[in-house]
Amino acid sequence: MKGAILRKKPRLTLLDAVIMLVVTAILGYIGYRITVGLHYKWNWSAIPRYLFRIDENGNWKANLLMQGLFTTIRLSIWATLLATIIGTIAGFFRISKSLFKRLLGRTFVELIRNTPPLVLIFIFYFFVSGQIMPILGVDDFARNASESTQSMMTFLFAPPRFLSAFISATVTVAIFEAAYITEIIRAGIQSIEKGQFDACHALGLSWKQKMQYVILPQTIQRILPPLAGQFISTIKDSAIVSVISIPELCFQGMELMAATYLTFECWITITVLYLILTLSLSLAVERLEIFMRRSTA
């Protein structure tokens, strides 16, 4: 048994070396064009102070880019949570016995998936932010809240003056991602063998019991990989709300670029920050998958 699963030793072949050489050459040429062709003056030393700054009391504070990163993280977490809730409900609608619910679920999914996200952003932003937020009185609430509530809001969501825009952006991203999560959940539930449903029915389990104890636990295990992919997409897609001036990472990058003209340094830094977020999430999910597989094996 042991011999059969021994992994092959990685070996560098001639072809690998050639490919590596070509890639290095292309990257080198791009660097050369930027430096020589565009007469670009690299100035990496300017970047760190936009990540962190030292305030008047000598404490380290997050500056423009890190603030943007935190906003992206907050936005992604809330959007993911909301999208999961909406997606789960719509997913159940998609497989419901009732034709009306199925149609409703289907319409939601097709409408969202077949519209450019940018268009959705504008529609939701001007409708949700322009019409619903004033009705709910979000701005008034945020402005008139006590000091401690305001700092709590700033930590969890956004500073009071951005709150209503932040909520609109979160809802927009959430609805957009929810359409995809709906399909993941529908496919996951439908992938469970029919026999599992039969067994639940034969034992007299109610719909809720069947879902809670038998179907969903098996579904979650199966949909974890695509769901994680969707969560990572949420982080990436959140960049689009920069068009409605949410101060998230991408928007802050544009501001910084406009102010300093450090085009390449700025966008490379932002790329790295996004990568840190998404790659660490992928690795975490990979671990979780291995753990779940072991715990049921």
Partner 1 sequence: MQDKQFGAKSSFGFITVDRISKTFPNGVVALSEFTTHILRGEVVVVIGPSGSGKSTFLRCLNGLEDIDSGSIVVDGIVLDDNKKNRLEIRKEVGMVFQQFNLFPHMTVRDNINLAQRLVRKKTRAEATEMTMDLLRKVNITEKADAFPAQLSGGQQQRVAIARALAMMPKVMLFDEATSALDPEMIGEVLEVMKTLAGEGMTMVVVTHEMGFAREVSDRVIFMEAGKIVESGTAEHFFNHPREERTRAFLSQILT
List binders of partner 1 among 221-280 (CB under 8 A).
Answer: 221
Q: What amino acid is encoded at 223 in this protein? A: I
User: From CA 76, how far away is CA 84, in angstroms rounded?
Assistant: 12
At its nearest, how many Å lie between partner 1 and the CB of residue 206?
7
Burial class (CB in 10 A: 0-12, 13-18, 19+), 114: exposed
Q: What is the CA radius of gyration of the chain?
A: 24
User: From CA 2, how far away is CA 180, in angstroms rounded?
Assistant: 42
Is 118 or 220 the residue whose CB approaches partner 1 more closely?
Answer: 220
Output DSSP code: residue 57: T
Q: Does 191 bind partner 1 (CB under 8 A)?
A: no
User: From CA 183, how far away is CA 73, in angstroms rounded?
Assistant: 24
> What's the number of CA atoms in the CB half-sphere (13 Å) around residue 142?
20
At its nearest, how many Å lie between partner 1 and the CB of residue 204?
4
At its nearest, how many Å lie between partner 1 and the CB of residue 133?
42
Binding mask 193-222 for partner 1 (x = CB under 8 A): x-xx-xx-xxxxxx--x---xx--xx--x-
At its nearest, how many Å lie between partner 1 and the CB of residue 274?
35
Nearest to 242 by CA among 122, 113, 114: 122
Is 3 or 195 the residue whose CB approaches partner 1 more closely?
Answer: 195
Which residues are near partner 1 by CB under 8 A? Answer: 193, 195-196, 198-199, 201-206, 209, 213-214, 217-218, 221, 296-297
